[in-house]
Structure 1
Amino acid sequence: MTSPIETLDAESLLADIRDAGPLPGEKRHEWLSRALREAIKMNVLPETAMLPTEAQLVKQFGLSRQTVRKALEELARERLIVRIAGKGTFLAPSGETGRQFSSARDLLSSVHDSRYELVIPLHKRIELAAAGRLRLPTDDVACASFRRLSDQGAFCYTSVFMPPHIGELLQDVSELKEPGFASYRTVAEILDERIPGGIASAEQSITASGLSPEAAMNLQREEGETSLRIDLAYYDDQHAMVELQSSYFLPESYSYRSHWQRLS
């Protein structure tokens, strides 16, 4: 398991910037992002290291969680860090850019070079198939839908489904209220912070599938056009499913590469 950054040089640099306080006219989230950016660009942090958690940065800099999150989202937009739900925040591997992904894991966790634009806000509705997969006693679910965007445009359409009581935990989340709102956080990341014990496990299935009518409309493609469908089920520490995520990826956004070598 990767440990949080503990190098003396990094700690000293962050402490110096923290003790000096914000620059004149500098907002508090800009102060934190500057501190982390300097540590990254001065190469005092090992590549692909795990950064301190939001809670650790809140305590270290005396900031609110919302301010810390805003600073991290700024670094994610600059492609300096990668935020992976349930795992933490990591330095982005050097030279990692673009929309091509070598594996499903990379495809789903590349928060640093894409953003989520809300299409359908969080709401409750009857959804027989999703309620069945969530193993709910009724057909009511909480759900929301997103387009995933890169610099080249929309390349994925995602719908998330949750038990109603889990959806209640997200009623105050601004990213889930207004259509068109763009964020670098996933619903799974938010749930990981709000569910006692966080997200404990996940199951993934990958299939070739035709675009659904909703996905086709939001990706400006033809209904039934071939896509890569990735379904993710997230579970809490009691192995109760807390979120079902279904994503349709355009095929040109995904490539699978491997290297083979004969053993001597």
Structure 2
Amino acid sequence: MTEPRAAAVIGDGGAGPATLRQAHSPEISAARARRWGAFYYMEQVLRVMKGYSWTIVMYGVGQPVAYLFAMGVGLATLVDANSTSAFGGVSYLVFIAPALLVSASVMTAANEFTFPVMDGFKWRRVFYGPHASPLTPSQIASGHAMAITLRFVVQSALYFVVVAIFGASPSGWGWVSVLVATLAGLSFGLPLMAYSASIKEDKGQFAMVMRFIVMPLFLFSGTFFPLDTLPLVVRWVGWISPIWHGTELGRVFSYGYEEPPLLTIFHVVFLVTLAIVGWILTKRQFEKRMAS
């Protein structure tokens, strides 16, 4: 015997015969959830984002474009007039564009991998509803991370279009900087996601992260001036910063910035390693929190 399936009669308002549609059995629905659960949760996060899509556009694209115009067009007229070699033979606009692209992804990661994660565990507890279904903690974490990754890609692509319009990406490989910005966002965001999942009480931890981690990384990662022009007392911040490693990679692809090939490889390895370690810690923390 086969399992009975729920049926729904759908009519057309009396204009014709009704049609019979049947829902999947619980076994089939559970099997699909176990297989595609991460994508189901990703869809849920994207639908929530749709409600504040204009805020996303203005924050993810509008803010760096404003920086680009102010620093790359306004300040650049003074910088370019007084310095011809400090930026590797390119204009100041071309120099800072990859840095702003990477910084935008890291700033987005600082927002999307902090309060929304704690909201899922502490305030509205939105992670526990899907967990009551066949979705696993790992799938819920994956779905959230996948949705934010898609946001990185979209906002970086839109910003890159603006950069190209400004003529700030002369290389034909400039589009790769979109992928670099996405990787930089994940390399910073996934470890932060693991940390956010471990917090049980809000005591201002995220404000401390923004003030004492995110902002120093933004200011001391060779964003506005080459890292080797900064004092040694703060230069080490750039060496451990995903923003600096992503920025250097972005400059390689955007305008052919010359650096040793081994250093370029190290940038990639550094960012990928951070992302992988962050993802492993995130999965463990989600499983630990939802098992308790």
TM-score by shorter chain over 0.5: no
| TM-score, scaled relative to structure 1 | 0.32
| TM-score, scaled relative to structure 2 | 0.29
More strand by share: 1
